[in-house]
Structure formats: C-alpha cells, structure tokens
Structure 1
Amino acid sequence: MSVRSETLGEVIEWLKAQADSEWECAQEGLCEGYDGYDAYTRTIEHCQDMLLDDTAEHGKA
C-alpha cells in the first residue's frame, strides 16, 4: 500500500466520523439542513475514487 493510499484511507475514516456527527446534528435539529453531511459524503466519494484509481494504477505496474 502506498503512502498516498494509506493517507486517503485515514482521511476517509475522519470524514466518515465527521459525516456521522453532521447527520446526528441535523437529525436532532441542532443545525440547519444536511448541507454539511452532503459535503462530507461527496468528499468521501471523491477520496474513494482516488483510492480506486491508485489501486488500479498499482495493479498495472
């Protein structure tokens, strides 16, 4: 596993924790809407795509 892939994995885990927190906040009415949650989940998806790209690139080498 490359350093970049390892770092992306760590970032994804952190983002998931933040998304969970935003979801709970929105469910409890402590924040307006789900914009924060949506932003985190879009970022998670982007990081996962980057991780898949790295995995595919590593497989070609």
Structure 2
Amino acid sequence: MDIFLVNENVRHFRELLARELEPERRRMVENLLAQEEAKLAGLGGQRPTCAPPPAAET
C-alpha cells in the first residue's frame, strides 16, 4: 500500500468536505474518507517518508 497515496486521498476528501456538498455526495465522500483513514490506521498511522525534490538552483 502506498502511504503517500492514502495520505493524499485523506487530504483530498477533507478538502471536499470543507466545501458545501449535496447530502448524498457528502455521505459518499464521508464513507470514502472513513475507508482511507482505516487504511492509514492499519498502516500504523505512518506518514510518507519521501520529501519533495529540492528546488533547482538558478
């Protein structure tokens, strides 16, 4: 399981929930968020270990 992708999904679903959504779509996103959070918990709540690449010097 790619921890980075799980974390990105959690971030994305939280952003969606911050917006106003129709009740049906909101329930769907809440369910997806719960699934991703469960995956993250199963991975021990690990955070991604990769850092973004360093900025190129000019």
Question: Shorter-chain TM-score: what band?
Answer: 0.3 to 0.5
TM-score, length-scaled by structure 2? 0.48
Q: TM-score, normalised by structure 1?
A: 0.46
